[in-house]
Chains A and B, each alone.
Chain A
Amino acid sequence: MNSDKIKTSTQVGLFVTCLADLIRPQIGFAAVALLEQAGCTVRVPRNQTCCGQPALNSGDSASTIAIAKMVIKTFAQDDYVIAASGSCVDTICHKYPELFRNDALWAGRARALAAKTWELTSFLVEVMELQQVEATYDGVCSYHDSCSGLRELGIYDQPRQLLASVVGLELKEMNENNVCCGFGGLFSIKYPDISTRMVSDKCANVGHSGVDTLLGGDLGCLLNIAGRLRREGAPVRVFHVAEVLAGMTDGPAIGEGESDL
């Protein structure tokens, strides 16, 4: 815990991500709690909405550039920028610099932002060297590895390492934990039948694993999986990993209502 003391002054800006901001604010509060536990001072700038991924994935580079510029300016002053989503971090770290390839000034600023932007669990483990969290969760969980986090950022061990310290939590891997759930942002609305087929496969794997809880690091995927599990009537609770690590699991899980509690 010594290292925590030394790093008490680590300053971070929280990029909330549009989905957590609008749909599940608790993930934002969980992220703040974890960062503070690890010894960070957290700033949440008001000037943020989305990383621009929906525009980028629709091929609209002008719109993406406008949003990217806003993100770059908003977080220029922070030492680190943290988001609880592998896919938004991938956009900031890998897509922004590429977008500004022909603009020397902004390319430099984009690279500077990329260099200090981290996904939450990897930041906690790799930079803050957090070994354990203070949380309890009574359940058998599987972890869905979201695509960008896994393949573009190499996030696999970090959340599992932290989850290992949660009292009462048992982690049980499911088959095809690294296969896409079929969310893909606008893909899930533009090609609903393919998406449904993919998320049904995912739910079948969750079902076969026999767990009572599914965790993941990207709310988009979790909304998709939770929405399908619920439609299928499967009794599996779904949480963002940050919520479990921060011990914020007393309220309804994703897609659960007050009447379910």
Chain B
Amino acid sequence: MSAVASQKVAFRERTTRALRDSNLQQAMGKARGGFVDKRLEAMAALPEFDETRDAARDIKDHVLANLDGYLELYEQKVIENGGQVHWARTAEEACQIVADICKEANAQVVTKGKSMVSEEMHLNSVLEAAGLKVVETDLGEYIVQLAGETPSHIIAPAVHKTREQITELFHEHHSKLGYTDRVTQREALVNEARSVLRGTFVTADVGITGANFLVAETGANVIVTNEGNGDLTSSLPRVHIVTAGIEKVIPSLDDLSVLLRVLARSATGQEMSAYTSLYSGPRQDTDSEGPEAYHVVLLDNGRSTMLGGGYRSMLRCIRCGACLNHCPVYSAIGGHAYGWVYSGPMGSVLTPLLNGFDDSVDLPNACTLNGRCKAVCPVRIPLSDLLLKHRLEQYRRRLTPLFGRFLVRAWAWVATRPRLYQGLMALPLWLMHWRGHRRGALEHIPFAGGWTDSRDFPTPAGRSFIRQWHSRKGKS
């Protein structure tokens, strides 16, 4: 109970902090319209977008119903291609596997492409503790790494930062490398980061990437980026490690083309991301480049439990970020307020499932159930329905505050007794009316400070409709 309470305070504190953080507010405000408009344009340009979403959903559903089979097929193909597959039940196991591979390869420097699963594993801290130098190569990830933070968005890790903040951050970290000028333009910032990173790419021993998809029929892992950093991370170092959740597997390249069509359009409003790369294993004799060793670490971490229950549809998620981009709560508080790697609607559904219900009581509740997330999800995950399902589950587990539950119970008891209900409401309605009818609204209501601290409360009419109607009609 105390853990729950402290988490609750923590969420509220994080929220308050975020709402007062003017940089965050400025950055989020700038991002919000852009994502929405671009997605709308991309949709308009593809008349069969909705049918494609249905097809994408069906592909994912089919995989989830046959996950064992496709994972086995995938593993077999990876082995045929000369790679290795490692199975990790938990994040700790997965970290250990990656750390062991690095150790065996005598690695000093590790470059990383963007991978939410590695964030979920907290891989960086484990590798750093093992004495490795870890460098993020995705620009957004690089920025949050410099800042000592975690990503606040699954596809735009540094979306919460203003350009001015990034300028300062680069100046602070890069001036010792000889970049003494403060650069402020987007282009120039990208170039500076690239040139700093270029040195690391060639010295890296191990490259770690995530995977947007794992194709069972060929054993390929697919990475979609806009920067091309994924290519350098996977092909330059001696060893390439892919970290991915088990739900990432898809049957075929045909399925891949369907999913790619909805992914970029939903994420950034692009028709296609700039780079879509397929990697199928270590360098073959005929290849001019590529790693000597290729490992795939497949992480379960609670996913297989989700297969059974009513939350299976959440495993369809292709991490496009559209639900975050369209969530007004996310846009108001940013990703860090959610307290774990996944944020926004998909995070509020996933976090309790992967990380435990007890420590994430606020997440499903801090939502108006406005359903915009559900409306935009490319694989049609009923996100807001799942959040409601979480609330029912919390109630069943008695995780929500006792007093609140009692109030709702008592109210419902009265609400199922209409005459009593009308009788009990009559006096407060009349009092509120008497108090506020001249001005039309109340500026303060006892026990409803949450409302009236920032809003007036329009005055009730004094007598309920039901009472007025039936006294006028003289009938029931």
Contacts and interface: CB of A to CB of B under 8 A. Distances in A.
Interface of A: 16, 18, 20-29, 44, 46-50, 52, 54-61, 63-64, 66-67, 70, 147-148, 151-152, 178-180, 182-185, 187-199, 201, 223-224, 226-228, 230-231, 252, 254-260
Contacts of B468: 25
Contact of B466 (A21, A64, A148): A21
Contacts of A257: 436-441, 459
Interface stretch (B130-138, B317-325, B402-410): B402-410
Contacts of A195: 368
A148 B459 CA distance: 25
A198 B465 CA distance: 30
Given A28-B469, A228-B454, A23 B460 contact: yes
Interface stretch (B187-195, B252-260, B389-397): B389-397
Contact of B388 (A18, A57, A188, A194): A57
B400 A48 contact: no
Interface string B415-435: 110110100010001000000
A28 B405 contact: no
B369 interface: yes
Contact of B371 (A52, A151, A201): A151
Interface in B370-398: 370-372, 374-375, 388, 391-396
Contacts of B19: 193-194, 197
27 contacts: A22-B429, A23-B458, A46-B466, A46-B476, A54-B408, A58-B395, A59-B392, A59-B400, A63-B413, A67-B415, A147-B372, A151-B371, A183-B368, A184-B368, A188-B451, A189-B448, A189-B450, A190-B450, A191-B15, A194-B19, A196-B453, A197-B19, A198-B329, A201-B328, A230-B440, A230-B441, A255-B441
B455 A228 contact: yes
A258 B436 CA distance: 10
Interface residues of B, number: 68
Nearest to B394: A59
Contact of A196 (B419, B440, B455, B470): B455
A198 B454 CA distance: 12
A17 B404 CA distance: 22
A197 B371 contact: no
B455 A193 contact: no
B126 interface: no
B372 A180 contact: yes
B85 interface: no
B457 interface: yes
A67 B469 contact: no
Given A151-B375, A193-B15, A180 B368 contact: yes
A184 B461 contact: no
Interface centre among B458, B460, B464 (most CB of A within 10 A): B458
A252 B461 CA distance: 11
Nearest to A190: B365
B227 interface: no
A187 B367 contact: yes
A196 B451 CA distance: 8
A25 B465 contact: yes
A194 B416 contact: no
B412 A52 contact: yes
B376 to A, nearest CB: 10
Given A46-B470, A148-B371, 20 more contacts: A16-B466, A21-B466, A29-B469, A49-B416, A60-B408, A66-B416, A147-B371, A180-B328, A187-B365, A189-B450, A190-B450, A191-B366, A194-B332, A194-B366, A226-B458, A230-B440, A230-B458, A231-B443, A231-B456, A257-B439
B333 interface: yes
B390 to A, nearest CB: 8
B411 interface: yes
B395 A60 contact: yes
B463 interface: yes
A22 B459 contact: no
A123 to B, nearest CB: 19
B66 interface: no
B457 A194 contact: no
B16 interface: yes
Given A24-B461, A26-B461, A259-B438, A194 B404 contact: no
